[in-house]
Amino acid sequence: MRRFEGKKVLVTGASRGIGRAIALAFAREGATLVLASRKKEDLDRVATEAREIGAMVHVIPTHMGRIDEVSRLAGQAWETAGRLDVLVNNAATNPVFGPLLQTTPQAWDKIMEVNLKGPFFLSQGVARRMMDSGGGSIVNLSSIAGLMSATWLGTYGISKAAIVQMTRQMAREWAAGGVRVNSIAPGVIETDFSRAILEDQSIRAEALKNVAMGRHGQPPEIASIVLFLASSEASYVTGQVLIADGGGIC
């Protein structure tokens, strides 16, 4: 399938894990890519993989916790690609692995800046341009940590719960302008980002205890959902949160 032939797609946090899988999935389906993440050398590796598939790729190193860089990304990505049909807000951070009582003001600010403030203002900047160009699709990466409590992911979960409401509010306000906004709430996906869960056997077992499928997810399993929500196949879907957790919440 080449569902995104001729489409222009911006993916944040594209240098590894779920972001890398999303970028390569769009590349296989014909999209022109704009990839953003903090480190250029990591982005370049993913860009090389996407180009080997046959995609046109632009790389824009961006720190999603710095609002000046986020504002620059919105404009530069649009100008570089000519337009944007899809924005995937995937970049996230979690410097605190523990209960809320261990969260410092500095950690709180970092989590909220990268996980919420950056995606909000990037979406705002991109959506304005999408509305002027006939519409588009935004997919936000939330988490099941934003839908249920987890002792070791409290502050991160708060930021991801905010992403859920951000998705709904954007969908409500921007539908008239032709912009659909949806979200995905993954369970534990086997990436470097989840290393603290995966490498601690007691935490890993706890995380799997209520998962009906009895395993953690893989990045391509999330990427395929992103492509569906971004595609014309989901043309009547907006404001929704799709849970992909192997049956942990069911």
CATH number, domain with residue 44? 3.40.50.720
The CA distance from 244 to 235, in Å, is 20
Catalytic-labelled residue, pool 4, 26, 120, 156:
156
220 CB neighbour count, 10 Å cutoff: 14
Q: Which residues pair with 37 in a beta bridge?
A: 61
Residue 250 lies inside a defined structural domain of this protein: no
Residue 219 CA from chain centroid, whole number = 12
Count other C-beta atoms under 10 Å from residue 248's C-beta.
20
Is 69 domain-assigned?
yes
What is the model's pTM? 0.95
Domain that holds residue 14: 8-234
244 lies in some domain: no
The reply to whether 211 falls in a domain is yes
Which pLDDT score, from 0 to 100, does residue 1 have? 73
The answer to whether residue 241 sits within a structural domain is no
Per the annotation, the verdict on 156 as an active-site residue is yes
User: If DSSP codes are grouped into helix, strand and coil, which group holds residue 4?
Assistant: coil
pLDDT, residue 191, reads 81
Distance CA 80, CA 83 (A): 8
Q: How many domains does the chain have?
A: 1
One-letter amino acid of 103:
T
What confidence score (pLDDT) does residue 146 get?
Answer: 95
Residue 247 lies in a domain: no
Mean pLDDT for each consecutive 10-residue tract of the chain (250 residues)? 94 97 98 97 97 98 97 97 98 90 95 98 98 98 93 92 98 98 94 71 75 92 98 98 92
- Contact at 8 Å (CB) between 116 and 162? yes
pLDDT at 198: 67
pLDDT at 199: 67
Q: How far is CA 1 from CA 5, 32, 57, 174, 224, in A?
A: 9, 15, 19, 29, 12
Side-chain-side CA neighbours of residue 233 (13 Å): 12
Backbone phi, psi, residue 137, to 5°: -135, 135
In a domain, 239, yes or no: no
